[in-house]
Amino acid sequence: MNRREFIKNTGKAISLGSVLPGFVFSALPSNNALGALMAGSVENDNILVLVQLNGGNDGLNTIIPLDQYSALSQARANVLIPENKVLKLTDKTGIHPSMSGLKELYNTQKLAIVQNVGYPNQNFSHFRSTDIWMSGSNSDETLNTGWLGRTLNYEYPNFPNDFPNSEMPDPLAIQIGYTVSTVFQGPVVPMAISLADTNSFYELVNDTYAPTGNNAIGKELRYLRTVMRQANAYNDVIKTAASNANNLATYPSTNLAEQFKIVARLIKGGLKTKIYMVSLGGFDTHARQVDSTDTTQGEHANLLKTLSEAIYSFQQDLTMLGIADRVVGMTMSEFGRRIKSNGSTGTDHGASLPMLFFGTQVQSGIIGNNPQISQNTTDRDNL
């Protein structure tokens, strides 16, 4: 599926207009991946949560095309999940056995799967492919802004001048991470703020910071912390929102789950922020993707379990907090993996992969057909 087809088809799963007022998807020239920017709709309080899977997720072991199992057995026998261990979604399609939480969301119509998402002329570099995904460019062009940065700049054209203000007192977007992703880069400045990590969030909220020591380095660190707090105009509103709400669901003890906990708490706490971004790394599984004695176990299985459990807990929390109908999430990764596995029980950089959309407002089900796998797949072939 190329980028234009993806934009068209994902409109069935989630309309960006349901999150950002006045925005709809449609095919436009290649310098605007977002689509037409249509003004005039009413305000809403809907939220989009991006989940970045860093490293290139193996889509064929995530959403498994059971109708292609024979060909997959020829191409990737040393990493393929045994057919009787796959969690069936339909007669033709299953999901990794570590993702029971997402299967439950699928069963309760809270999960949409968009098959075969990628772009023509795949660039297999992590850095360049991430740039393409985040900027919304074609593979043969370079853009210095992100597709969400351009969107937010359209909605708030004077940012950062005179912000925060009474109309928008809160951050336009929040990313949990040390830097702001290219996806939020506007024409002049990033349109989002970053919370360095989960620890820094709780330090900010509780006004407690790790000891710095009574030496020159400690003194400088205390100074930097003071400057950082004073420079961030949004600290107070974040602290207020956090104090207004508490998580109700039980989350697993993983960093991704902690990121989702923060997002749920800030949404329930009343922030007007429209877009959040969380991330999970480790998907560059060239070696030891699976346990050589049990392909249902290994690094990839652990990552998918972490992802599934975090999303499931987040969705439970949203429901218990009474805000589930306002929130839709989506996963993205810079590329998929090769059809054919390698000799190190791993997979190399590939092309397209499925995307997952979750929430009470998605059109649940599978959009697009399963990838077609040849019985004669070589190590150069891609989806």
The tens digit of pLDDT for each residue in 323-376 reads 999 999 999 999 999 999 999 999 999 999 999 999 999 999 999 999 999 999
pLDDT value of residue 68? 98
Q: How far apart are alpha carbons 83 and 313 in whole angstroms?
A: 27
Q: Is 24 helix (H, G, I), strand (E, B) or coil?
A: coil
pLDDT value of residue 236? 87
pLDDT value of residue 4? 47
Q: How many CB atoms lie within 10 A of CB 187?
A: 11
Reported as a single tens digit per residue, the pLDDT across 251-301 is: 999 999 999 999 999 999 999 999 999 999 999 999 999 999 999 999 999
Please answer whether residues 318 and 264 qualify as being in contact, where contact means their C-beta atoms are separated by less than 8 angstroms.
yes
Count Cα neighbours of 256 within 13 Å in the Cβ-side half-sphere. 24
- Peptide bond preceding 157 in cis form (omega within 30 of 0): no
- In this prediction, residues 34-63 reach a mean pLDDT of 78
Edge-to-edge order in the sheet of strand 173-176? 193-195, 173-176, 275-280, 47-53, 327-332, 353-358, 111-117, 365-367
- In this prediction, residues 24-41 reach a mean pLDDT of 35
pLDDT value of residue 219? 66
| pTM for the whole structure | 0.87
pLDDT value of residue 304? 98
pLDDT value of residue 40? 39
Terminal CA-to-CA distance of the chain, rounded, Å? 10
What is the enclosing helix (H) or strand (E) of 115?
A: strand 111-117
- In this prediction, residues 123-147 reach a mean pLDDT of 96
DSSP 376: T
Long-range pairs for 346-350 at CB < 8 Å and ≥24 separation? 346/79, 346/285, 346/286, 346/287, 346/288, 346/289, 347/58, 347/61, 347/76, 347/79, 347/285, 347/286, 347/289, 348/286, 348/379, 349/56, 349/124, 349/126, 350/56, 350/58, 350/122, 350/124, 350/382, 350/383
Reported as a single tens digit per residue, the pLDDT across 46-55 is: 999 999 999 9
pLDDT value of residue 203? 76
Q: For residue 293, count CB atoms less than 10 angstroms from its CB and return exposed for 0-12, middle for 13-18, buried for 19 or more.
A: exposed
pLDDT value of residue 119? 93
CA 162: distance to chain centroid?
30
| Token duo for residue 33 | 């991946």
pLDDT at 230 over 50: no
* Least trusted range by pLDDT, from 33-37, 208-212, 215-219: 33-37
| Token duo for residue 374 | 């040849």
Question: 77 or 12: which carries more pLDDT confidence?
Answer: 77
Mean pLDDT taken over the chain: 87
pLDDT value of residue 7? 45
Neighbouring residues of 323: CB distance < 8 A, sequence distance ≥ 6: 264, 267, 268
pLDDT value of residue 356? 98
pLDDT at 204 over 90: no
pLDDT value of residue 232? 67
Q: How far apart are alpha carbons 368 and 114 in whole angstroms?
A: 6
